[in-house]
Amino acid sequence: MPNPELIEETPVPLSDVKDQIEKIETRDKELNYRSNKTKEYLNTFQPLSKEKKDELQKKLEGLDLVRLKPAHIVKIIDFLPTTAEELKVLLQAYPATLPKKDIDGILAAVKEIK
């Protein structure tokens, strides 16, 4: 049996996952169990449209925050925190702390998109 090798690991926003599931569904006509569960999950969250996701991603990357990694940006895009507390809870899983001015910049970018 072949042994798969992990070449690269990159975080993917929910909106991109939803696009890929839709492509698979049109190609295969029917989704398997795991893909159906993923589609149900994505439908409950209603991720951003591709245009809004790209715009928010550019704004967050444009803030040039050293401590804000791509994984953080993806989580912010997925959950769209509107308060400092929500953002802190979202980033709690990562060993990163942000100063208040950085938090305010992130929240301002999210509010512009919403």
> Domain residues for 39?
14-45
pLDDT tens digits along 9-28: 889 999 888 889 999 999 98
Q: Record the pTM.
A: 0.81
pLDDT tens digits along 51-100: 899 999 999 999 988 888 999 999 999 999 999 999 999 988 888 788 89
Domain count within the chain? 2
Pair 34, 62 in one domain: no
CATH number of the structural domain spanning residue 56: 1.10.150
Confidence (pLDDT) at 1: 66
pLDDT for 6 beyond 80: yes
pLDDT tens digits along 91-109: 888 887 888 999 999 999 9
Judge contact between 84 and 103, C-beta under 8 A.
yes
